[in-house]
Structure 1
Amino acid sequence: MVEDALSAGDVPTVAITGANRGIGYAVSEELVRRGYRVVLVTRGAASGAAAVAALTRVAAGPLPVAVVGDLGTLDGVRAAADAIRDACPRLDVLVHNAGLWPSRRVLTPDGVEESFAVNHLAPFLLNHLLEAELAAARARVVQVSAGIYVKGRVDLERTPVGADFSGFRTYADTKLCNVLTLPLFAQRWADRGVTINAVHPGVIRTGLGARSGPLGLVLRLAKRRWASPEEGARPIVRLVTEPVGTGGYYVLDELTPLAGPAADRALAERVWAQAAALTGCAPLLPDSASEAN
């Protein structure tokens, strides 16, 4: 656990996806200031190198490093997992921060809608690929969520391929898919010492959901009144650094029950089964005698 590493005088290692800008960068900056070893998972080598250069100037402990991870494809997620293993002496915390709010329907090489891949399948697959490392460190997993999940719906046939695509609701749909797996991962890891929690950090002024044209201008003007990435980072950093339970959904610092379809256990199990089939991961929870993982 993070507390164990700190009490033993070790430096906890945190891997953060989407860490080169916005909330991910702000979380990285706060943690390197506190002396954590931070591994930034970025889509491109150049953006990762630029972020590392900036963070190195404020690091109070080990220098940050960046690894490349294109979370829009299954092969990219697998490559990211390998890179994280290579970069981390141990993995104490995994922060799923990368997210995509699409303006148009795009299918990935795997045949799924792009935001479904990044927002849902990527963290699902990374959790499985890094499961041994997480268990070895009795680690924490923190999922950056969005309160808009309550507006989402899940159509198991249409949502994965974007057949029900909407410039507004698809983001909510994919975030709902992700939130549905939260209690199942908490159950899966209950006896392994791994905790997982999700957090809605507020409405934050980042590039997420940026648009061109008149709508883009309106959004940019509206975002001036939104909270800064540094403010959005605060509740995430709290889940990284302070003792917490598992399976919780937080709105800022407040533990909040899952609402609407996110509380539907039967739907959650169907979403898990579909994600497992699409990624080649474990089809069932470990308390099932038939699981082959």
Structure 2
Amino acid sequence: MNLLLTGSTSGIGLETLKALYPHFDRFILPVRNMEKAQRLASQFPKTEKLDWVEMDLSSMKSVQNAGSYIKENYSEIHVVINNAGGMFPAGKKTDDGFDMTFAVNHLGHFFLFKLVENALFKGKAKIINVSSEAHRIASFNTEDPSLKKSGNTFSAYCQAKLYNILFTKELKRRFSEQGISSFSLHPGAVKTAFGSETDPISKMIIRATQLFFISAKKGAQTSIFLAKIPSKELKNGAYYVRKKPKSSNSASSDPENARALWEYSEECLANLGLL
């Protein structure tokens, strides 16, 4: 069994990797910092199980290169955990011209799916997207789906977390008959380095409230649960909190929003000549 996990070098991603290490034969690990990844490899008894792949979710060219490598080397992928993400200053742009929060939390993972979808179909993959309860204060803005006009760091992050759920639901709608199952989750308010790249005010608020946050190990538990439990015992397309399905907000439950986000994401990539 092959598992693809983003954001595996710190926080809940690393805890997820540690917990699932005995349960999978091979781990495909796209990471931004290869040096950090290779230092972490010494924590695992069989480093040959870990395939570190350089990938920066903010760069669609980097995602394309990583996807090409994965496609060439893996004919089947059985579980995907899209764990990487972050909160970034409002207005911060990628080299491709996208809002950083939109690219890292949604578009990069969307593009990676498109690149390796044949291996996912062959492996009848389970796709797990790490979202957040922060999605509840977001709505789907058809005038600015890529968040370019968002002037608020936290608001943009909340919308990106809404996108994780919409992506999950559209995956179910489009591909459940081909054996794909998809799930989103809230890991809890986790005490990690999250928010380290955001603006000073948001960073101060995050640090001030971290006294009440849970450990990364606890925060990883729902991701681990979803990866280990057979898909037939889970609710396809559902949003999970503390290992149980929970209703998400109305914007995330609107199939037209999910369809619109998917089509807009394809348009973004097509405009770069990538689709």
Report the equivalent of 1:4.
none
Structure 1 residue 63 displacement after superposition: 2.9
Is the Cα contact below 8 Å between 2:5 and 2:27 reproduced in 1? yes
Gaps of at least 5 residues in structure 2 are: none
Q: How far did residue 123 of structure 1 move? A: 1.8
Counterpart of 1:48? Answer: 37
Superposed CA deviations along residues 187-217 of structure 1, whole A, max 9, x for unmatched, are 2111111111111111111111135767645
Q: TM-score, normalised by structure 2?
A: 0.89
Q: Could you tell me how far 1:157 is from its partner in structure 2?
A: 3.4
Distance 1:225 1:160, change over 3 A: same
Q: Which residue of the partner structure matches residue 243 of structure 2?
A: 253
Taking structure 1 as the reference length, the TM-score comes to 0.84
Q: For residue 262 of structure 1, what is the amino acid of its counterpart?
A: S
Where 2:96 maps in the other structure, the secondary structure is coil
- Counterpart check, 1:25 vs 2:3: no
Which residue in the other structure is 1:155 paired with?
141
Of 164, 186, 191 in structure 1, the residue corresponding to residue 172 of structure 2 is 186
Residue 212 (structure 2) aligns with:
225
Match 1:241 to one of 209, 215, 228 = 228
**Which residue pairs with 2:263 in the alignment?**
273
Structure 1 residues 221 and 36, CA gap change in structure 2 (3 angstroms): farther
1:262 and 2:252 aligned = yes
Q: Relative to structure 2, which stretch is displaced further, 262-271 or 77-86?
A: 77-86
> CA shift at 1:159, angstroms?
4.3
Following superposition, the deviation at residue 117 of structure 1 comes to: 0.6
CA distance in 2, matches of 1:249, 1:35: 24
> Aligned runs of 1:61-210 on 2, under 5 Å?
63-86=49-72, 88=74, 90-210=76-196
How many residue pairs align between the two structures? 268
Letter in 2 for 1:124: F
- Alpha-carbon distance between aligned partners in 2 of 1:212 and 1:273, rounded to the nearest angstrom: 31
Amino acid at match of 1:50: R
The answer on whether the counterparts of 2:195 and 2:202 sit within 8 Å (CA) in structure 1 is no
Superimposed CA distance per residue, residues 247-284 of structure 1 (whole angstroms, 9 cap, x where no aligned partner): 11111211012312111222222222111111239xxx
Distance change (3 Å), C-alpha of 1:212 and 1:163: closer
Q: Secondary structure at the match of 1:276?
A: helix
Deviation at 1:126, TM superposition (A): 1.5
User: Residue 268 of structure 2 aligns to which amino acid in structure 1?
Assistant: L
CA distance 1:85–1:150, shift in 2 (3 Å)? same
Identify which of structures 1 and 2 has the higher relative contact order when contacts are C-alpha pairs closer than 8 Å and 6+ apart: 2
Residue identity in the other structure for 2:155:
R
Residue 51 of structure 1 aligns with an amino acid whose one-letter code is: L
Going from structure 1 to structure 2, the CA distance change for 1:151 and 1:35 (only over 3 Å counts) comes to same
Identical residues among aligned pairs (%): 24
Letter in 1 for 2:19: E
Question: Does the residue aligned with 1:240 lie in a helix, a strand or coil?
Answer: helix
Residue ranges of structure 1 left out of the alignment (5+ in a row): 1-11, 282-292
> Which deviates further from its counterpart, 66-75 or 86-95?
86-95
Judging by fraction of residues, say which structure has more helix.
2
Structure 1 residue 39 displacement after superposition:
2.2
Deviates more, 1:259-268 or 1:217-226: 217-226
Cα deviation for residue 68 of structure 1 reads 0.8
SS in 2 for 1:190: helix
For the aligned residue pairs, the C-alpha RMSD in angstroms reads 2.3
Q: Give 3-state SS (helix, strand or coil) of 1:98's partner.
A: coil
* Amino acid aligned to 2:50: P
